[in-house]
Amino acid sequence: MRITALIVTYNRLDKLKISIEATLALPFQHIVVVDNDSNDGTSDWLNTLQDPRLNIIRTPDNIGGSGGFKYGVRYLIHNVNTDWVVFYDDDAWPSKSFIKNFENFNKLDSVVYCSKVIDKYNIICAMNIPWKKIPKSLSENIAYFKDKTSFCAGADERTDVLTFSFVGCIIPISVLEKTYELIREDLFIYFDDVFYSYQLSLQKIKIIYEPLLIIHHDVDSQGKNKFPAWKVYYLMRNMIRSRFILGSDSFFSNVAIFLRAVKYFEKCYTADNILLYLKYYFKGVWHGIKNVGGKNH
């Protein structure tokens, strides 16, 4: 069984070094690193690495997380002989037992698996928890905001899910060959993995959350850090654009979009620069309504 790591990086060299060190310590057959046109010395540092398993590719521009993963998948389909591909960002890395645990349970080569992702505090990473049920109606969305357990995978419960995060998903190359064009590079970042994975579910491709597979994600998912202003642009824009991209199959209902819009608006009161936050917020709303894609921050 051949397993490839696919890592996308942009201007986070310090974090990338930790990720690469942990990745090289594991028995991956291949490691594909997509340098998203970094300008912080990432390219020079990557060029110093000698491990023959490394495949380093550089994009001509910063095409975001979604574009970077799609770029990397296209490369490895044509250049790398593998069976499985493990996705993660430059601020994440698999646990020491990751590959051993993956090899030791029965797998189907038509099934996608997603990992248990833990944050910098060794707590389940909220932003990477997959959905197993979509909240559609007003009552379901209120229930979701009160208690997510009926809608999201439990931390230690192996279960079928509808979505996955690009941090720690393990996708058969056979599935990627048929579906990678569904990764929307024009989303740039945020919800791109939800859109792609939900479309796999709509095609009846099975996705399983497997808590034995652990990925470390060096982020604060508990809300202890400030919410950067630019992030709200992509969250708002891409959430609204879901109605254009997936139509009646959109993951986010109109009710869900409205309630999340209220939630993100309230975060402006904790921002370092409220006016900048509101600028990005309303720009995201407007570009979502106009169905504008790409990098806009």
Q: What is the CA radius of gyration of the chain?
A: 19
Q: Are the CB atoms for 179 and 68 separated by under 8 Å?
A: no
Model pLDDT, residue 224: 59
For 210-242, the pLDDT digits (tens) are 999 999 999 987 765 667 889 999 999 999 999
What is the average per-residue pLDDT within 28-52?
Answer: 96
Mapped onto helix, strand or coil, the DSSP state of residue 54 is strand
Instruction: Identify the CA nearest to 250 among candidates 147, 161, 163, 142.
Output: 163
For 190-205, the pLDDT digits (tens) are 999 999 999 999 999 9
Instruction: Identify the CA nearest to 2 among candidates 32, 33, 36, 27.
Output: 27
Instruction: List, in order, residues 6 or more apart from 144 with CB less than 8 Å away.
Output: 135, 150, 151
Q: What is the dihedral of CA 154, 159, 165, 168, to 10 degrees?
A: 100
Q: Within 10 Å of residue 1's Cβ, how many Cβ atoms?
A: 11
For 80-99, the pLDDT digits (tens) are 999 999 999 999 999 999 99
Question: How are beta strands 112-118 and 84-89 bridged, if at all?
Answer: unpaired
For the chain, give the mean pLDDT: 94
Token output for 13:
């060299």
Question: How are beta strands 3-9 and 30-35 bridged, if at all?
Answer: parallel
pTM for the model stands at 0.94
pLDDT band at 106 (very low <50, low <70, confident <90, very high): confident
pLDDT band at 290 (very low <50, low <70, confident <90, very high): very high
Instruction: Identify the CA nearest to 13 among candidates 41, 50, 36, 47.
Output: 41
Whether residue 145 is predicted with pLDDT greater than 90 in this model: the reply is no
